[in-house]
């Protein structure tokens, strides 16, 4: 029953498992308070409405809801997404500019598939979402990391990249409450990015899974709405505002959607029609906006607890971001602290986080960083967990 290792492709040897999933065996221990995951809080799932809608779908349209569907998605859901985003962003988005994908992870994968040739440069925030890196990685890009500060990606570094004679195929950004830093890109820098994309003809992929989860401050215009040139694609997900039932979307010029359609056919033919119908009715029965209000109130309370406890218990020399939304706080510890060792110390003390190095491309890592999720655990656990983390740090200092 042994297989010759030569049977695997170069690609299979190239791609790496999620570094976060590798931490899971340590994290899943009894009594561990986990700030490590990226999961939304299940208490927020709109179960009753899902039950009602699913029942109705199976009464009224089982033949289509349980059947194969178009690769680009249920046309009704595409239209509903186009309508909602048009209204929210103050731009005109047509149905044929929207593709529905099996999670926004797939939107990123398909975009990489139709654009990235081996060795072409893909700019990324440093640090960034590991799933974003993994979506591009199968196409062997040259990842170009651009640093972040409290206003998001440093666009002067992007400008300098071009000034030095380089090019970019794609720049991947999460402008609102970025994963992992929680930072929001400033309006000024958004405008700068669009200007650079027009001048140097690269694509901006604006990933917006957290955009609706704002707890304080003012919404910033999307990069998409600032770009009248078609260089920006806008993708998002129902995972954080509804449930991770594996539905996302990407908005782009129609010609790009046609390409994504062809790319999705070999990957999974189409996304499930049942879950698409479910989200379609959730949107058009006007359940989504009240649901977002409910989630934001719920998560805001947890964020507030976490920031308050961090202020109270963290030792000198430790700093962190103060996100206005999303799910994550990014913590920077003194440079001499070994965060891998801190992770194991913290597990001993029954609290878990993700080591920051997981979110950087190789060689660019700021080792003295870590990510904590503030939505998965309740207020009491957040308070206790952050105290344990502070205690672990003090034992290391």
Which residues in the 207-236 window bind a copy of itself by CB under 8 A? 228-231
Q: Is residue 193 involved in binding a copy of itself (CB under 8 A)?
A: no
Closest CA to 351 of 39, 130, 131, 23: 23
- Segment 360 to 379, residues that bind a copy of itself, using CB under 8 A: none
* 312, two tokens: 């109270």
Helix and strand numbers, DSSP H then E, in the chain: 15, 14
Q: Is residue 262 involved in binding a copy of itself (CB under 8 A)?
A: yes
> How far apart are alpha carbons 295 and 40 in whole angstroms?
10
Task: Choose one: 75-83, 210-218, 273-281, 309-317; the region binding a copy of itself (CB under 8 A).
Answer: 273-281
Q: CB under 8 Å to 267, separation ≥6 — which residues?
A: 106, 109, 110
Q: Cβ–Cβ contacts within 10 Å for residue 169, how many?
A: 20
With CB under 8 A as the rule, give the number of residues binding a copy of itself.
81
Q: Cβ–Cβ contacts within 10 Å for residue 205, how many?
A: 27
φ and ψ of 236, to 5 deg: -155, -175
Find the binder of a copy of itself among 266, 335, 336, 363 (CB under 8 A): 266
Q: What is the dihedral of CA 48, 377, 275, 271, to 10 degrees?
A: 180
Cβ 8 to a copy of itself, closest distance in Å? 6
Cβ 104 to a copy of itself, closest distance in Å? 9
Nearer to a copy of itself, 271 or 392 (CB): 271
Nearer to a copy of itself, 71 or 126 (CB): 71
Find the binder of a copy of itself among 80, 98, 116, 307 (CB under 8 A): 116
Q: Is residue 64 involved in binding a copy of itself (CB under 8 A)?
A: yes
Nearer to a copy of itself, 29 or 150 (CB): 29
Nearer to a copy of itself, 226 or 346 (CB): 226
Find the binder of a copy of itself among 78, 115, 303, 371 (CB under 8 A): 115
Task: Choose one: 28-36, 177-185, 237-245, 380-388; the region binding a copy of itself (CB under 8 A).
Answer: 237-245
Q: Is residue 139 involved in binding a copy of itself (CB under 8 A)?
A: yes
Nearer to a copy of itself, 38 or 152 (CB): 38
Q: Cβ–Cβ contacts within 10 Å for residue 47, how many?
A: 11
Strands 319-320 and 328-332: antiparallel
> How far apart are alpha carbons 339 and 393 in whole angstroms?
9
> How far apart are alpha carbons 281 and 283 in whole angstroms?
5
Find the binder of a copy of itself among 34, 105, 155, 357 (CB under 8 A): 105
- Segment 157 to 186, residues that bind a copy of itself, using CB under 8 A: 169
Cβ 337 to a copy of itself, closest distance in Å? 30
Nearer to a copy of itself, 117 or 286 (CB): 117
Find the binder of a copy of itself among 75, 244, 334, 379 (CB under 8 A): 244
Find the binder of a copy of itself among 19, 75, 253, 379 (CB under 8 A): 253
> How far apart are alpha carbons 288 and 81 in whole angstroms?
12
* 123, two tokens: 């700019």
Cβ 396 to a copy of itself, closest distance in Å? 31
Radius of gyration of the chain (CA): 21
- Please report which residue ranges of the chain form alpha helices under DSSP H: 10-14, 24-27, 47-60, 62-65, 75-89, 103-115, 130-136, 155-163, 187-200, 223-226, 254-268, 273-284, 288-313, 339-348, 379-396
Nearer to a copy of itself, 134 or 368 (CB): 134
Q: Is residue 22 involved in binding a copy of itself (CB under 8 A)?
A: no
Task: Choose one: 158-166, 255-263, 362-370, 388-396; the region binding a copy of itself (CB under 8 A).
Answer: 255-263
- Segment 275 to 334, residues that bind a copy of itself, using CB under 8 A: 275
Burial status of residue 186 (CB atoms within 10 A of its CB: 0-12, 13-18, 19 or more): middle
Find the binder of a copy of itself among 19, 75, 138, 334 (CB under 8 A): 138
């Amino acid at each position: 029953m042994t297989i010759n290792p030569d049977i695997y492709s170069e690609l299979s040897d190239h791609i790496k498992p999620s570094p976060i999933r590798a931490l899971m065996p340590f994290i899943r221990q009894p009594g561990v308070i986990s700030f490590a995951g990226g999961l939304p809080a299940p208490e927020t799932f709109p179960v009753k409405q899902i039950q009602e809608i699913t029942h109705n779908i199976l009464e009224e349209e089982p033949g289509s809801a349980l059947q194969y569907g178009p690769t680009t998605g249920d046309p009704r859901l595409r239209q509903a997404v186009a309508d909602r985003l048009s209204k929210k962003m103050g731009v005109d988005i047509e149905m044929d500019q929207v593709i529905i994908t099996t999670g926004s992870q797939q939107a990123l994968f398909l975009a990489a598939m139709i654009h990235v040739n081996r060795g072409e440069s893909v700019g990324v925030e440093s640090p960034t979402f590991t799933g974003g890196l993994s979506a591009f990685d199968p196409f062997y890009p040259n990842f170009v990391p651009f640093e972040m500060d409290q206003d998001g990606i440093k666009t002067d570094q992007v400008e300098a990249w071009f000034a030095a004679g380089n090019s970019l195929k794609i720049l991947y950004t999460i402008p609102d409450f970025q994963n992992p830093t929680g930072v929001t890109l400033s309006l000024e820098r958004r405008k700068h990015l669009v200007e650079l994309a027009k001048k140097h003809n690269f694509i901006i992929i604006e990933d917006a899974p957290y955009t609706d989860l704002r707890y304080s401050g003012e919404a910033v215009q999307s990069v998409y709405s600032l770009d009248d040139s078609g260089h920006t694609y806008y993708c998002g997900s129902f995972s954080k505002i509804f449930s991770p039932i594996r539905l996302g979307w990407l908005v782009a010029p129609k010609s790009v959607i046609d390409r994504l359609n062809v790319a999705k056919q070999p990957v999974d033919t189409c996304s499930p029609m049942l879950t698409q119908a479910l989200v379609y009715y959730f949107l058009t029965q006007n359940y989504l906006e009240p649901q977002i209000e409910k989630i934001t109130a719920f998560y805001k309370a947890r964020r507030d607890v976490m920031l308050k406890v961090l202020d109270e218990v963290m030792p000198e020399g430790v700093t962190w971001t103060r996100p206005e939304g999303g799910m994550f706080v990014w913590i920077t510890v003194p440079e001499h602290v070994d965060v891998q060792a801190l992770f194991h110390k913290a597990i001993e003390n029954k609290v878990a986080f993700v080591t920051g190095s997981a979110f950087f491309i190789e060689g660019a890592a700021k080792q003295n960083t870590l990510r904590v999720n503030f939505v998965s655990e309740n207020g009491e656990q957040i308070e206790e967990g952050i105290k344990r983390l502070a205690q672990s740090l003090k034992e290391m200092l």
